[in-house]
Structure 1
């Protein structure tokens, strides 16, 4: 009596099979058959021993009842003439499970053409990706885990290139650490980070990146500002004008630099105005030999080598606020043309 109650409860969670999503339905039904102790009936023939045969037939009736309760009416018409649970499952498999070389080729092409597009849920995309991989395996195709990971990473847009590169470096160091679940986790974390940055971003298309809170930012356009300038000139020390407009020094032959600071240099630019244009397509590092350090996000800390714990306060664009760098080390990078690898 208890067994039948368990069966009825489990069956309510299985959508009757109507010809769609056979692999998912097959997976759920097999779990119920296993739970009820009758899974062997769909893969074995009745034994010759009379006592064992009687028990097998009882289990077969139970298995057929479970399977039939999980089928839609339109599917029932195709299996009414089947007399055993094995015959029913074999008939459904032969009709609805896609097999053969042609299907394998089709699914391989589908897998390689899948691309994640900005705006859609990354979790939903990964679910579709895994479903395609499972379909390929069920129809007889073989695909290694590292190939699955490679296909998933290649489906990501350029904005995920930093994560892809970091995973590639870790894979080269210790292949066992890079599992499919690990890669999914890192990609979902990157999606959350990008969404947070999008929410926190200012409405302007251009914003200042990292400067010392001791300095002010003004565009060096060699034009006099209208109105009174309330701060001191960094050249002569007098109030009322900027250093770029100072008449006590000829700036034509001077090297222009938008920012100076006595703090440790984090980013250093050349003659251009210190603005950073945001782009959803890629992340660009301006590598300058004069830069002491380059900042990376905390989630890339695991990929640093020769690390040293530090505590650097770094001023940011918002006056009075700063961030703290806690770790220093070397990050292994690869150029976009894949020709060389460097440490920085």
Structure 2
């Protein structure tokens, strides 16, 4: 596959200095590996013995060009004086992967304040969490496996409280991998149950048949009786004589037909 074709199909989003440098750097490294250019990041000592100087120079120039195409103009200005892949890479790390106390504080604050909203997906939330953990590792901040797991569980909304209690029940310690695996399993079962309930509801409506129609008739019948029983008497009309104020069973004229028949 040619480099131009690869760039068009696998281009890395441009790093603008505001988004996650760690994530961009990882994608960029994978991109360069895919293009066969990553060796140039290690400097001239990484040049293969059988490669000519001209071929090595061309490879390095392609690597530099590819990196610059994947960073925004404002970031390009910061490394415009750098000519080799190695020096550009190192300069970007110094600028955007600072290991200062301020940067460590900002990353820790983002991690400890991270909360999953109800509309977020579990997988998406865990990706954000893992990204922050990875960035902290890159600046030499170590968080134990157990603390990572507890921080993740603590970042979940109240709707996951039962799952969290179940995961922690009877355990003396837990790792991040165990917590994530259990959460994904619970989430999958919850989605399956929701799908079954939805399917059952649709099936009941679609295939209710006589039983469903009978239930609807029963409801309507009870509803009508309730309305007539609760209606004011002056609004009730007798079906025997047509007068207001009483119903047929209480009609004073309901025996008139029978009396006439007896007389005959």
Whether these two folds match at TM > 0.5 is yes
Distance 1:178 1:133 in 2: 13
Structure 2 residue aligned with 1:188: 187
Say if 1:51 and 1:197 are closer, same or farther in 2 by CA, change over 3 A: closer
Pairing of 1:100-115 with structure 2 (within 5 A) = 100-115=100-115
Q: Tell me how far 1:73 sits from its aligned partner.
A: 2.2
Structure 2 residue aligned with 1:41: 40
Distance 1:135 1:48 in 2: 30
Structure 2 residue aligned with 1:25: 24
Structure 1 residues 155-192: Cα deviation after superposition (integer angstroms, max 9, x where no partner): 2344423212222247559x689535403404534764
Secondary structure (helix, strand or coil) at the match of 1:14 reads: coil
**Per residue, is there more strand in 1 or in 2?**
1
Structure 2 residue aligned with 1:308: none
Contact 1:64–1:85, Cα closer than 8 Å, also in 2: yes
**Further displaced range: 81-90 or 54-63:** 54-63
- Kindly name which structure, 1 or 2, has the bigger radius of gyration based on alpha carbons: 2
Contact 1:46–1:56, Cα closer than 8 Å, also in 2: no
Say if 1:25 and 1:156 are closer, same or farther in 2 by CA, change over 3 A: closer
- The answer to whether residue 9 in structure 2 is matched with residue 14 in structure 1 is no
Say if 1:198 and 1:103 are closer, same or farther in 2 by CA, change over 3 A: farther
Say if 1:49 and 1:31 are closer, same or farther in 2 by CA, change over 3 A: closer
Pairing of 1:116-265 with structure 2 (within 5 A) = 116-169=116-169, 171-172=171-172, 179-186=178-185, 188-189=187-188, 192=191
Say if 1:28 and 1:118 are closer, same or farther in 2 by CA, change over 3 A: closer
**Per residue, is there more helix in 1 or in 2?**
2
Distance 1:40 1:65 in 2: 15
Q: Tell me how far 1:91 sits from its aligned partner.
A: 1.2
Distance 1:36 1:143 in 2: 35
Distance 1:190 1:70 in 2: 41
Q: Tell me how far 1:58 sits from its aligned partner.
A: 2.7
Distance 1:194 1:115 in 2: 25
Distance 1:76 1:126 in 2: 32
Contact 2:60–2:85, Cα closer than 8 Å, also in 1: yes
Q: What TM-score, normalized by structure 2, do the two folds share?
A: 0.60
Structure 1 residues 275-301: Cα deviation after superposition (integer angstroms, max 9, x where no partner): xxxxxxxxxxxxxxxxxxxxxxxxxxx
